[in-house]
Amino acid sequence: MLEIKNLHVKLEEEDKQILKGVDLTVEAGKVHAIMGPNGSGKSTLSYVLSGRDGYEVTDGSATLLGEDLLDMEVEDRAAAGLFLAFQYPVEIPGVGNMTFLRTAVNAQRKARGEEEMSSAEFLKVIRARAKDLKIDAEMLKRPVNVGFSGGEKKRNEILQMAMLEPKMCILDETDSGLDVDAMKLVADGVNALRDEGRGFLVITHYQRLLDHIKPDVVHIMANGRIIKTGGPELALEVEQNGYADILEEVA
């Protein structure tokens, strides 16, 4: 599904190398988690994959279903099936949540040469998906993320994911700013989307999100590289001992 090879990335504006050779393969149907201390490059990886400005790839590659991601426009990556759940979802005053989502769904369909969704069909689907995430009609009408609480913003990300039905989902610290109940709601939303044909990359600081979204593979990232890969037990090890032991071990 997602194949990253020897990815080197630096900041565009300054001479600072952030990723120093990341290798990672996420298979369809699998959930991979990336954990790591602050500044290890986790979020940069998610931004580079989704195409945010400000980064320069100096070496390596990233493909989605064999297509070169790094060569595509941001919107084309989305249409190809990549989805990033933002750590800090952006507020867009003046654009209704519903308008935004319908525009996005139909833009992706159009880009893929599929038929656009009719208003009636869209309404039916979004109402059902919103209900599962406890998102009420009022929230759908409001401008995108404006005045939403932290939990509402993250639920809104998952709603977008559910509507866009991407092939590869990257969740960037989706647990940050969530209380236990909100985290469970978000995790349930993600679990409902787990599917044979869909891959997940869950980026997190803490193990607790992984109690709810059970990963198949856990990677530890530090200083721009993946330094250790293992099963779910690796997350528990981090929870108990912190990153220090692992960092020492590989040093």
Partner 1 sequence: MALPQAKQDATEARITALSLPEGGWADPARRDALARVRAMGLPNARDEYWKFTRPDTLVAAEAPAAATMDSGEAPLFDSRDRLKLVFVDGVFSPEESDDLSLEGVTIDRLAEAKDIHWAKDLYGVLEARAQSPVARPLAALNTAFASDGLLIHVTGKPSKPISLIYRHVSDRSDAILHHVVKVDPGAEATILENGPAAARFNKCMEVDVAEGACLHHIRAQGRDHERRAATHIFARLEKESVFKSFTLTVNGAMTRNEVVVEFTGDDAVAHVAGACMGDGDFHHDDTVFVTHDAVNCESRQVFKKVLRNGATGVFQGKILVKPDAQKTDGYQISQSLLLDGDSQFLAKPELEIYADDVACSHGSTSGAIDEDGLFYLRARGVPRGTAEDLLTIAFIAEAVQEVEDESLQEDLVERVAGWLARRRD
> Which residue lies nearer to partner 1 by CB, 89 or 224?
89
Which of 84, 201, 218, 227 touches partner 1 by CB under 8 A?
A: 84
Which of 111, 137, 244, 250 touches partner 1 by CB under 8 A?
A: 111
Determine the 3-state secondary structure of 120 from DSSP.
helix
Is residue 194 within a helix (H) or strand (E), and if so which, with residue range?
A: none
Rounded to an integer, what distance in angstroms lies between the CA atom of residue 147 and that of residue 144?
9
Which of 93, 113, 115, 180 touches partner 1 by CB under 8 A?
A: 93
Q: Does 164 participate in binding partner 1 (rule CB under 8 A)?
A: yes
- Residue 248: CB partners within 8 Å, gap ≥ 6? none
Q: Does 94 participate in binding partner 1 (rule CB under 8 A)?
A: yes
> Which residue lies nearer to partner 1 by CB, 160 or 207?
160
CB of 65 to partner 1, least distance (A): 16
Q: Helix axis angle, 119-132 relative to 150-164, nearest 10°?
A: 130
Q: Does 52 participate in binding partner 1 (rule CB under 8 A)?
A: yes
Angle, CA of 65, 5 and 245, to the nearest 5°? 120
- The residues facing 170 across adjacent strands are 84, 201
How long, in residues, is the chain? 251
Amino acid code (one letter) for 102: R
CB of 52 to partner 1, least distance (A): 6
CB of 110 to partner 1, least distance (A): 9
Which stretches of the chain bind partner 1, using CB under 8 A? 50-53, 73-75, 77-79, 84, 86, 89-95, 99-101, 103-105, 107-108, 111, 143-144, 160, 164
